[in-house]
A and B are shown apart, each in its own frame.
Chain A
Amino acid sequence: DAGVIQSPRHEVTEMGQEVTLRCKPISGHNSLFWYRQTMMRGLELLIYFNNNVPIDDSGMPEDRFSAKMPNASFSTLKIQPSEPRDSAVYFCASSPLQTMNTEAFFGQGTRLTVV
């Protein structure tokens, strides 16, 4: 199994531009998460999908952020327009079961730099 695949690994963009991060979860996993990691705030959950449906997007910072999961094997996180404070590492994770004991499997992350 290739694990959770994220692309791109690194993204540098100018303030005001649209940024799209992509994620392919592990086949058969029905839960997908987007996390953001910054020095100041650590790892924060942005949004959670179950069976391709957004269940909890309370962690999405503001309307500039949007996430979609059109099918079981693909998800995107879009920032439009991007701002320097969005610079962070964004992780996608997937999980096979929706139970209290189930761990999440993380991708390598996308390091976003907004200049």
Chain B
Amino acid sequence: AQSVTQLDSHVSVSEGTPVLLRCNYSSSYSPSLFWYVQHPNKGLQLLLKYTSAATLVKGINGFEAEFKKSETSFHLTKPSAHMSDAAEYFCVVNSNSGYALNFGKGTSLLVTP
């Protein structure tokens, strides 16, 4: 079955420092991978997605993620954190059926001044 594991439930960074949110996936075939962000009391917004076109994927708000098949990873990074980045981040993989999305447990990002 397709699944993802988010390695950290909470990450805290200082404003202006780099962000790294880790995600490993399990897939029996080439997956489609996504990162979604959820701000407090808001819906989920797509940050970026990997669809095998390029291993380094650029998303919105300066985020990017690199697909590494050898490590079965899809970590999310940003060079410099902003206060507005504080939110819950979800790593997501398409399910075996193809139409549904399997969500990780989420990583809560805290950005301190």
Give chain B's interface secondary structure class: loop
Interface residues on B, range: 20 to 34
**Among all A-B residue pairs, the 4 with the closest Cβ atoms:** A43-B103, A101-B51, A106-B44, A106-B43
Q: Is A45 an interface residue (CB 8 A)?
A: yes
Report B84 CB to chain A, min CB distance, Å. Answer: 18
Pairs across A and B, CB under 8 Å, 26 listed: A31-B99, A33-B101, A42-B103, A43-B90, A43-B103, A45-B100, A45-B101, A50-B99, A55-B99, A56-B100, A91-B44, A93-B44, A95-B99, A98-B99, A99-B98, A100-B32, A100-B51, A101-B49, A101-B94, A103-B101, A104-B101, A106-B43, A106-B44, A106-B45, A108-B43, A109-B43
Residues of B at the A interface (CB closer than 8 Å) are 32, 34, 36, 42-46, 49, 51, 90, 94-95, 97-101, 103-106
